[in-house]
Chain A
């Protein structure tokens, strides 16, 4: 019987939630790395026992932990993230140029074809790659040459938070950086170009259609159709049918098109999920009602999913990395909140239950489907 393993990163440690296919009874393990912020924890699809965790605090900096036994035991691997070549500068809040300075790892993306290869997206924004399971890291510095001098930090920092690898062509990579935009490489990260044509940021940028500066919150793809990308931007839910060359809006009838995560159903490439948030000024659900919205048409036509979710007095947020799907026949959808709840729907979003209700604020949720 298949099982699912939900990897949860929080402000105060990591938790691992496991269940069988029914996804009704859950075993909760943790906290791992108690007291540390776990920005992201994700397993390899090539070797599901190989899991990486980004562990940090303001006090003690960044660590990367690796498990080779499905999260039972962990070993620190390299935390040396040295920018390559001339350090360079980016825009600072006062308009001056500011040297790149490593702060933390926001996202870890294991390769879909090689268990030893893993990418790390960091703040200040850059992309690193390890070919030895995290024992060493090297920057792919060409990304910062994609007009990096024009990038500037948003309120959450200048973070590279999203990495997509085309499973049919691992040389094609996509990244997204807050307040900078989305970027694409077709040569394994040796060269990059902005992938922002069609994005409009009417309230955030003096030139709403500028190539650089869009606050992309998350991007995703279905592995069977990697030329189709979905994006939750600061405002606007967007879609590209040509691998990021052009984007168009699919916000449709959403009550708000501001939000953070966006995910695709495991078996239906046109079924996507978002969690609308009231606004950039008020990071909680509209009307205090926590609703996941599902589109079965690839966008524009959205339905509210509310069964089992609080429909009054709910003022939590769902952060960009805190939503995921499993790959069971009846696709499970999961998300974690800043209030410490992790919800599961074992039926593609129709019904929801809370697996846990009182964790620290949830930063990330990833799911492994195990045979």
Chain B
């Protein structure tokens, strides 16, 4: 199972806890995880990826295993520790600054 941690507002919107688990078939890519997330929780469509372009919203970041994966290809395999469920994929609302 893939572990995903959502930011506060999206947890509230999807009515889920901090961490959720998703069944994702191989290869485990960011796009595959987000597809599974949106299929399980349709109200999240458009909140992480632009509804019309499919691109990451500019103030959303993807972290895992101490790395920022936000600029990786959505079709690149995620780290093995994420694919195995040892580590979660963190979906983060970027700092507002100030």
| Residues of A that sit less than 8 Å from B by CB | 34-36, 57-63, 76, 79-83, 102
Are A61 and B43 CB-contacts (below 8 A) given A35-B9, A36-B9? no
Given the complex, which residues of A lie within 8 Å of B52, measured CB to CB? 80-83, 102
How many angstroms from the CA of A57 to the CA of B93 in the assembled complex? Answer: 11
Give the one of B9, B10, B59, B94 with max A CB within 10 A. B9
Number of residues from B at the complex interface, CB < 8 A: 19
B47 close to chain A: CB less than 8 A: yes
A107: min CB distance to chain B, Å: 19
Tell me whether A60 and B43 are in contact in the complex, defined as CB-CB below 8 angstroms, given that A36-B9, A81-B51, A82-B52 are known contacts.
Answer: no
Q: Which residues of A have CB within 8 Å of B13?
A: 60, 63, 76
Closest 5 A/B residue pairs (Cβ): A60-B47, A76-B43, A59-B59, A59-B93, A79-B46
11 residue pairs bridging A and B, Cβ less than 8 Å apart: A35-B9, A58-B59, A59-B57, A59-B93, A60-B10, A60-B47, A60-B60, A61-B51, A62-B46, A76-B43, A79-B45
How many angstroms from the CA of A59 to the CA of B59 in the assembled complex?
5
Considering the complex, give the chain A residue whose CB is closest to the CB of B93. Answer: A59
Most B CB atoms within 10 A — which of A76, A79, A83?
A76
Q: Please, which residue of chain B has its CB at the minimum distance from the CB of A34?
A: B12
Docked complex Cα distance between A81 and B50 (Å): 11
Q: Which residues of chain B from 59 to 98 have a CB within 8 Å of any chain A CB?
A: 59-60, 93-94
- Chain B positions near chain A (C-beta within 8 angstroms): 7-10, 12-13, 43, 45-48, 50-52, 57, 59-60, 93-94
Flag if B51 contacts A60 (CB, 8 Å).
no
Alpha-carbon gap, A356 to B52, bound state (A): 39
By beta carbon, the residue of chain A nearest B57 is A61
Q: How far apart sit A36 and B51, CA to CA, in the bound complex (Å)?
A: 18
Determine the residue in chain A with the shortest Cβ distance to B47.
A60
User: Which residues in A have their C-beta under 8 angstroms from that of B48?
Assistant: 60
Extra inter-chain contacts (12) besides given A59-B9, A79-B46, A79-B51, CB under 8 Å:
A35-B8, A57-B9, A58-B59, A59-B60, A61-B47, A62-B46, A62-B51, A63-B47, A79-B45, A81-B51, A81-B52, A102-B52
With both beta carbons as reference points, the residue of chain A lying nearest to B42 in the complex is identified as A76
Which residue on chain A has the smallest CB distance to residue B50? A61
What is the minimal beta-carbon distance from A248 to any residue of chain B, in angstroms?
41
Give complex CA distance A36, B50 in Å: 18
How far is B48's CA from A57's CA once the two chains are assembled, in angstroms? Answer: 12
Closest to B92 in A: A59
Of all chain B residues, which has the CB nearest A75? B43
Closest chain-A Cβ to B2's Cβ sits at a distance in Å of: 21
* A36 vs B7: C-alpha distance when bound (angstroms): 13
Bound Cα distance A83, B57 (Å): 18
Chain A residues contacting B47 (CB-CB under 8 Å) are 60-61, 63
Write out the residue numbers on chain B whose beta carbons fall within 8 Å of the beta carbon of A36: 9
B91 to chain A, nearest CB (A): 10
Closest to B14 in A: A76
B45 to A, closest residue via Cβ: A79
For B60, list chain A residues within 8 Å (CB): 59-60
